[in-house]
Structure 1
C-alpha cells in the first residue's frame, strides 16, 4: 500500500517510508568506499592519499545539489500541503534548472584553479599531480552530480523514495563495475584515472535516469516543465538549504584541516588512516542523513497543513529511533575496526595500527551525530533555515575547528581523533536547546 505524505505515521510506517532514503544514502557511501578500496589496494598509498586530500574540495562545490535538494524540498512540500500543486511543480523546475547552471559555472572555475587549491591543501610532488588528475576528471561531471544530489531529495517529495533508491543502486553498480575493470586492468600509471572515470560515469547515470522520469508528461506528482524566474523562491530555498550547504562545506573545510594536522603529526599515513575513517563515517552518517531526507517532506507537508499533533509525534518517534540506531552503530564500528583497517590498508602494518587506534576513538562520535543531523534537517523541513544553519555551522565548523586545533596540543594525535567526539557532544546539547526553544512556535 502506497504511503502518502498526508498519512499518520506510526513507527512501522515511518521506518518503511524512510528506509529507501536511508538505503539510498548508505549505498551512495558504500560505492564511494568501494572506490577507495580499489584505489588503495591497486593504485597505491599515494593515489589513495591524493583522493582523500582533494575530495573535501570536490564535495564543497557539489553541495549546491544538497542545498537546492533539501531547501527546495521543504518549500515544495509545504506548497503541496497548502494545496497549490501547480506552483509546487514550477518551483521544482526552477530549482532544478538553477542548480544545473550553477554546476556548470562551478565546474569551469574549479578546473581552472584546481592546482593552486591542491597546493594550498598541502599537496606536493607526486601527491599534487595525483590530486589534479583525479579532481579535474571528477569536476567534468559536477553539474550531473549536483542534480543527482538534488533528485535524491525530490524523489521523496514525489512519494517515490523506492525509485530514488533504484537510481542510486544503478549509479553505484556503474561505479563498482567500472572500478573493477578500469582500476584493476589498466596499467599502473592509469589506475587513478580509471577510478576517476568510474566515479564521474556513475554520477552522470545518477542524473540522467531521474531526468527521463521527471520530464515524463504522465508523471502525476512532480514534473519538470516550464517555469518562471522567482528570485525570492530561489533565495528561500537557499536559506532553507543553507544548513545542509553549510554542513557539507564545513565538513569539507574541517576535513582539509584534519588532513593538514595529520600531515604534520603523522605524514601520509595519517591522511590515509583518516581516509578510511571518513569512508566508514560516510556510511553511518549517511544513514542519519537518509532518515532526515526521508522525513523532511512529511514534516514540511504537515507544517503546511498545520497538523501540530503529527509533527509532535514524528519528532518523538524520530529521536527514539535515532537513539537506537546510534547504539547499534557504535557497537558495530568497534567490532569492525580491525577488519575494516585490514580491508583498506592491510598491506602496511604501521598504517594499519594508526588506523585501528584512531578509529576506536573516532567511532564514539556515531553515538551522537544522528541527533544533530536530524535536528538540523527538522528545522530545514519547517522552513526555519536560520536555526538549521546555525546548528550545522556550529556543529561542523566552529566546534570541530576549535577541537582539532586545541586537543592535539594537549594529547597529540589522539586529540585529532577525539575532536569529532567532543564537537558532536556540543552539537547535541545545542540541538536539544533549540528544539525546546522553538516548541511553542511550531506546536510540536
Structure 2
C-alpha cells in the first residue's frame, strides 16, 4: 500500500493518483449521461433549463469542496507533524460542520429557487423546468456536500480506491435511475425523474462514506467525538477558499455565459454551452483528480519539513500535466463532431454551433491543468490566500472580462474564446506566485 509519507517516483505518483483521477472522471461521465438522457428524451428546453440552473446548484454545494480540500490540507499537515489524535478530531469537526451548513443552505435555496431562475433570465416553460429540477435536487444538497467533502478525505485516509468505489456506486445509481425514470415516466414527469435520479445518487455518494468513517475501519481516519474549534474551522475555510472561490466563480461565469449566449445565440446557444460543459468536465476531471490525489501528499511532506520531496513532486507534476494537455487537445479536436452528435444529432443547427464552439473552447485544455494544479498546490501548503488569488483571477476576473469584451469583436465565437484567454493568463499568474513563494516553502 502506498502511504502519503512515501517518496514518490513517477510510477508511484501515477499509481497513487489514478483512483482520484478515475473518481473525478467517472463523476463527470455520469453527469454527461444525465445530460444525454435529458437532451435526447426530455427535450431541448428541459436540457437548457438544467444547464441554466446548474451553476447555482454548484455554488451552494461549494461548501463541500471548501471543507474537503481546506480541511484535508490541515489534517494532512497535522498527520505530518505526528499528532494523529488531533487530526481525527479535526476530521470529525469538519464533517459535522459541512453537513449542518448543507441543511441550512438547502432550506434557504429551495425557498428562493424561483427568484434565482428569474434572475438568470428564465421565463415561461424554461422557468418552470428550472424550478422543478432545482427544488428536487436541492433536497439532497447536504449529502452532495458530503460527497464532495469525502472525495478529498478518502485520499488523506490512504483509501483512494474506496473513494473510487463509492463514486462509481453513486454514478451507477444515477445512470440506472435516469434510464428507468426518464424512459418509463410520462413526458410531463421525465424532468422530475432526472432530478430524482440525481438526488438519490448524491444521497448514496454522501451517506456511504459517512457510515464507513463512523464504523471501525482500517484507514488512518475515523469519526468520533466533536470538539468545537472556531480557529480550526476558520483555518479550513481559509485553506479551502481557493476551491470555494473557484467553484463559485465558475458558476457565476457559467451564468454570465448563459446570459451572453441568450443574447447572441438564443436557446440553442445555452444548449450548446451545456453540451460543451458536460464534455469539458470529463477532460478537466483528470486535472482535478490529479490535484486531489497529490494534495494530501504535499500537505504531509510540508508538515514534515521534507523540502526535497516537495521539489520532486512539483517537478514531476508539471512534467506529467504538460504531456497530458497535448493529448487532450488532439483528442478534443478530432472528437468534436462525434461528441456533438451524441447530444445534438437530432438538431443540425444546434450540432453545428456545438462543433464550432467546442473546437475553439478545447484549446483551453493546453493551459487548464497548470492553473488547476497551481491553485491546489498552494492549498496543500496551507497557503489559502495565494491559492484563492489564483483561483479568483483564473475563474472570475480573467474569464468574466473576456466574456464581456470578446463577443463585441467576434460575436458568439468570442464567447468560446473567453476561456482560452482566461486559462492562458492564469498560467502566467501561477508562474509568478510559484517564483516569489519558492524561498518561503523550499520547493
The answer to whether the superposition gives a TM-score over 0.5 is yes
Q: Distance in 1 between matches of 2:208 and 2:15?
A: 24
Supply the distance in 1 between the matched residues of 2:304 and 2:421 (Cα, whole angstroms).
Answer: 38
The aligned residue for residue 255 of structure 1 is: 254
1:366 aligned partner:
365
CA distance in 2, matches of 1:59, 1:433: 30
Tell me if structure 1 keeps the 8 A contact 2:92–2:222: yes
Per-residue Cα deviation, 1:314-356 (whole angstroms, up to 9, x for no partner) = 0000000001111111001111100011100110000100000
Distance 1:118 1:227 in 2: 38
State how 1:173-184 maps to structure 2 within 5 Å.
173-184=172-183
Aligned to 1:159, what secondary structure does the other structure show?
coil
Structure 2 counterparts to residues 143-154 of structure 1, below 5 A: 143-154=142-153
Runs of 4+ in 1 over 4 A off after TM superposition: none
Q: Secondary structure at the match of 2:7?
A: coil
| Alpha-carbon displacement from aligned partner over 1:24-72 (angstroms, at most 9, x marks no partner) | 0000000000000000000000000000000000000001000000000
Counterpart Cα distance in 2 of 1:35 and 1:220: 33
**Contact 1:213/1:219, CA 8 A, preserved across alignment:** no
Quote the residue 1:112 is aligned against: 111
- List runs of 5+ in structure 1 lacking aligned partners: none
Q: How far apart, CA to CA, are the structure 1 residues paired with 2:258 and 2:48?
A: 10
Tell me how many residue pairs correspond in the alignment: 443
Instruction: For residues 51-109 of structure 1, give each alpha carbon's deviation from its aligned partner in whole angstroms, at most 9, with x where no partner exists.
Output: 00000000000010000000000000000000000000000000000000000000000
Counterparts of 1:433 and 1:204 in 2: how far apart (Å)?
A: 41
The aligned residue for residue 17 of structure 2 is 18
Q: How does 1:44-443 map to 2 (within 5 A)?
A: 44-443=43-442
Question: Cα offset for 1:218?
Answer: 4.2
What is the CA distance between 1:219 and its match in structure 2? 3.8
On the 8 A contact 1:93/1:227 being kept in 2, the answer is yes
Q: Secondary structure at the match of 1:137?
A: helix
Deviation for aligned residue 1:184: 1.0
1:255, distance to aligned residue in structure 2 (A): 0.3
The alignment's TM-score, normalised by the length of structure 2, stands at: 0.99
Q: Is the CA contact (8 Å cut-off) linking 1:273 and 1:354 kept in structure 2? A: yes
Distance 1:424 1:203 in 2: 30
1:148/1:376 CA distance change after superposition, 3 Å = same
Q: CA contact under 8 A between 2:158 and 2:219: conserved in structure 1?
A: no
Mapped contact 2:272–2:353 kept (Cα < 8 A) = yes
Cα separation, 2, equivalents of 1:62 and 1:234 = 17
User: 1:368 is paired with a residue of what secondary structure?
Assistant: helix
- Unaligned regions of 5+ residues in structure 2, if any? none
Q: Is the 8 A contact 2:159 2:219 kept in 1?
A: no
- Give, in whole Å, the separation in 1 of the partners of 2:219 and 2:22: 25
Aligned-partner SS, 1:229 = coil
1:215 and 1:103 map into 2 onto residues whose CA distance is 19
CA distance in structure 2 between the partners assigned to 1:228 and 1:208 by the alignment: 22
Contact 2:69-2:149 within 8 A present in 1 as well: yes
Tell me the distance in 2 between the aligned counterparts of 1:107 and 1:209: 20
Deviation for aligned residue 1:220: 4.3
| Aligned mates of 2:166, 2:364 — CA distance in 1 | 30
> What's the offset of the Cα at 1:227?
1.8
1:218 to 1:170, Cα distance in 2 relative to 1, 3 A = closer
